[in-house]
């Protein structure tokens, strides 16, 4: 059985996503979630999303990764974990 997360999108709608993985990058002291809505892109690949996990007022909030250096470290971690699998 897949683990899921309920996400409130920018329109205020609650949507269910499958959790692919939750990882911690110790050098950034941050946790990230990789998730999917199981929808295919133009190439036929299932699109995955990555967000930073932050706790606010006892709830978890997903934040976009906007810093290019942070995004490069996250991509490197993802590629390394795929190579090891």
Q: What is the pLDDT of residues 11-23, one digit of tens each?
A: 999 999 999 999 8
What pLDDT, on a 0 to 100 scale, did the predictor assign at position 26? 86
Give the Cα separation of 6 and 62 in Å (integer). Answer: 11
Give the Cα separation of 9 and 13 in Å (integer). Answer: 5
**Cα within 13 Å of Cα(23), Cβ side:** 19
What pLDDT, on a 0 to 100 scale, did the predictor assign at position 1? 53
Residues of the chain with pLDDT under 50: none
The answer to whether 25 and 77 have CB atoms below 8 angstroms apart is yes
């Amino acid at each position: 059985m897949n683990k899921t997360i309920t996400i409130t999108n920018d329109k205020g709608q609650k949507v269910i996503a499958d959790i692919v993985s939750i990882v911690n990058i110790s050098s950034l002291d941050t946790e990230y979630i990789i998730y999917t809505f199981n929808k295919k892109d133009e190439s036929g690949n299932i699109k995955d999303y990555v967000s930073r996990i932050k706790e606010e007022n006892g709830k978890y909030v997903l934040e976009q990764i906007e810093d290019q250096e942070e995004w490069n470290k996250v991509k490197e971690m993802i590629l390394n974990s795929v190579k090891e699998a």
